[in-house]
Chains A and B, each alone.
Chain A
Amino acid sequence: MLKIVGNDKMPEKRLKATKADIVLAVFFIAAAAAVLVWSFGYFGGSADSVVITAHGETVGVYSLSEDREIVVDGGSNIVVIENGAAYMKSADCKNQHCVLHAPIRYGNEQIVCLPNKVLVEIEDNGESEIDTVAN
C-alpha cells in the first residue's frame, strides 16, 4: 500500500499528508470491519436451546441443533433432542401426558411432566413469535 502512493515524484509535504490519510483510511476500514462483525453478532443470535428443569432445579441447557438423549432425575424422564426438536421419549409418570405431547421446537414452547415436576422448555432467544401457549 505504502509503495503505491509513496511515489518518489511526490513533493515531501504531500507525501506526509498522504501517510496521515492512509493511517486514517486504515483506521476507518478497521472500524467499519469491527462494526460489521459486531453487527453480525448482534443480529445473528445464537442457536435455539432446550432448558430442562426438575423440581425447580436446572438439569441442563442443550442446543437444539445437536441430537442427544438426556436422562432426567435418575431416569424418571428421558428427553430426546432430534432434528431440531425436543420430545419426551419416556416417563415413569402414570398419566403419560408428557410422552403424548408432540415435539417442541419454537421459543417458549413447553412439555411438562406434572407428576414428576419436570419441565422441558425451548429457550426464548428474543425472536420467538409466540409469547405463551394457551393450553
Chain B
Amino acid sequence: MNYNFCALAKIRRAAAILLVFALSLGIVFGTAGCSEPQKERFQKTYLDAFDTAISVVGYSDSEEAFTEMAETYVHNELMRYHRLYDIYTEYAGINNIKTINENAGIEPVAVDGDIIAMLEFARDMYYVTDGKVNIAMGSVLELWHDARNHGINYPDKAKLPDMAKLEAASAHCNIEDMIIDKEAGTVFLADSDMRLDVGAVAKGYATERIAQDLEAGGYTNIILNIGGNVRAIGTKADGMPWVVGIQNPDLMSSIAHIETIETDALSLATSGVYQRFYVVDGKNYHHIIDGDTLMPEDRYLSVSVLTEDSGLADALSTALFNMDYEEGKSFVEGLASSVSAERGLAAGLSENAPSRAGVTEAETDDEETEETGADSVIEVMWVMPDGEKRYTDGFEAYIVSETK
C-alpha cells in the first residue's frame, strides 16, 4: 500500500466511525427525546380554600388542558366544599355547617346533599375510631380556636383556654345529638350547646370526592395535595410511582423530609404538632385536641397514614394521634383486616350503619369482611417525641430506599 491510499483509507475510516458515532448519538438522544412521555408535567398551587395550600401536579397534553382540569375539578370544587363545610363564615344563599351550628336546639336546617354525605362519613369515622374522631366536639374546639387566635394576635398575652370552660363544653359533645334526616335533607343539633367542627374530616373527605370525580372523568397521572392530604390518581405519565416527602415535624431542621415514600393510587395524610400551633409561655400548643384530656397531647411529633381513601387517611391520622402507641398499633391491625378494599369504607359503613350506640368491633368486622375479601392498605408511621420513627409492618415497603 502506498502512503496516499493509506491516508485516504484512514480518512474514510474516520468518516465511517464518525458517521456511526453521530448516528448512534442521534438515535440515543433522539429517541430519548421522543420516548419521553408526550404528556408534559404541570403544577398549580392555590392558597384560597380550606385555609391551606393546595397543589395539583399532573401530566397533560397541554397547559390549557391541565389548567382547565385543575380549575374545574379541583379548585372550583374545593371552593364549593369549603363554603359548605365552613364553620366560621356565612355565604349568601347557602346553608352551611355554621348555619347548622347557629340553629342548634332551635330547628332542623335544610342543607346540600354534600353536607349530609360528609356528616354521615364523619359519624362513621366516630364509630370506626371509637370516638377518637368526633365532629360533635365543636364547643370544646371553639375555646381552643379562640385562645389560639388571641395568642397569635397578642403573643405576650397568649394563654390556654380555661379548663373549667373546656370541661363544661365537653358535656355537649354527643354525636348522637346530631340528627340527620336524609328524606327531608335536614340536619338538626338536638343539644343547644353543641357545635360541629368538621376540621378533622372535611378536607380529607373533599379530597377523596374530588379524586373520585377525576377518576370517573377518565383523568389519570395526577397527584393532589390538599393541605397535606396527598392523593395519587394513577402513576406518573411514565408509569413510575409518585415520590412523596413527609414533612419533618421539626420545621427548622435542615432535613426537610423525615421520610420519602413511593406510591400510586394511594392517599397519605399526616397529623403533626407543627400544624396550626401557637405559643404560650414558650411552649408550642398544636391544634389536635384529645377528646379525653381536652388538651393537645405530646405522644408524637406526627402520625402519617397511608391508605386508599383520603377521608379515611385524614380521620385515622387524627385518631391515631390521640391514641397511645400500643393502642394505636392494635387498632390499626384490627382495622386493616376489617376494612373493605373498595374506595368506600364510608359507603360500606353507611349501608350497615350502626344500630349506632352499641356497635361492637365484632359486628363491623363481620359485615365488612363479607363485603369483599380483598386486601386493603392501611400503613402507619409514628414519629415519637424523641424523633424515633415506628412503622406498621408494611409501611417500610413504600419507603424510597437510601441507595436510590
Contacts and interface: CB of A to CB of B under 8 A. Distances in A.
Interface of A: 4-5, 7, 9-10, 14, 17-18, 21-22, 24-25, 28-29, 31-32, 35-36, 38-39, 42, 53, 56, 94-95, 97, 100-104, 106, 108-110, 112, 114, 117, 119, 121, 124, 126, 129-135
B21 A32 contact: yes
Given A21-B8, A119-B47, A135-B270, A42 B29 contact: yes
Shortest 9 CB-CB contacts between residues of A and residues of B: A135-B247, A28-B18, A32-B22, A25-B15, A130-B245, A35-B25, A112-B53, A133-B245, A132-B225
Given A102-B252, A132-B55, A134-B269, A32 B245 contact: no
B138 interface: no
Contacts of B225: 132-134
B228 interface: yes
Contacts of B228: 134-135
B244 A133 contact: yes
Contacts of B247: 133-135
B94 interface: no
B210 to A, nearest CB: 15
13 contacts: A7-B3, A21-B8, A38-B29, A42-B29, A56-B47, A94-B153, A102-B248, A110-B53, A114-B52, A121-B45, A131-B236, A134-B304, A135-B247
Interface string B196-239: 00000000000000000000000000010100101000001000
B57 to A, nearest CB: 6
Interface string B1-43: 0011001100110110011011001100100110000000101
Contacts of A56: 46-48
Contacts, number: 133
B241 to A, nearest CB: 9
**Contact count band on B:** 35 or more
B111 interface: no
B11 A5 contact: yes
A1 B399 CA distance: 59
B242 interface: yes
A117 B48 contact: yes
A42 B14 CA distance: 26
A36 B25 contact: yes
Nearest to B148: A95
A4 to B, nearest CB: 7
Contact of B256 (A18, A53, A106): A106
A126 B7 contact: no
B19 A28 contact: yes
Nearest to A39: B29
A18 B29 contact: no
Given A102-B254, A135-B247, A130 B260 contact: yes
B47 A131 contact: no
A5 B8 contact: yes
A32 B53 contact: no
